[in-house]
Amino acid sequence: MKSVLIISVITFVLIFGGVVVVSSQLNKAANGGSSPELTAEDYAAAERVFHDMAIERDRIQQDKEELLSLRQSVAVQEQVLEQGRESLMAVIKKLEQKQAEYIEERERSATKLAKMYEAMKPNQAAPIISALEMDIILDIMTRMKERQAAKILAKMDAGLAAQVSTRMSLKGTG
Give the CATH number, domain containing residue 53: 1.10.220
Residue 173 has pLDDT above 60, yes or no: no
Q: Is 95 a domain residue?
A: yes
**CA 109 to mean position of chain CA atoms:** 44
List C-alpha distances in Å: 78 to 65, 74, 85, 104, 145. Answer: 20, 6, 10, 38, 57
Answer yes or no: is 14 within a domain.
Answer: no
Q: Is residue 8 part of a domain?
A: no
Asked, for residue 162, whether it belongs to a domain, the answer is yes
Residue 19 domain-assigned (yes or no): no
20-36: pLDDT as tens digits: 777 777 777 666 555 55
Among candidate residues 143, 139, 142, 113, the one with its CA nearest the CA of residue 128: 113
Answer with the residue of higher pLDDT: 174 or 4. Answer: 4
Any domain includes 72: yes
**Does 22 reside within a domain?**
no
Angle between helices 134-143 and 122-130 (to 10 degrees): 150
Per-residue model confidence as pLDDT tens digits over 123-157: 999 999 999 999 999 999 999 999 999 999 999 99
CA angle, 104 then 174 then 164, to 5°: 85
Q: Is residue 10 part of a domain?
A: no
Asked whether the predicted pLDDT for residue 117 surpasses 50, the reply is yes
Tally of domains within the chain? 1
What residues make up the domain containing 48?
43-171
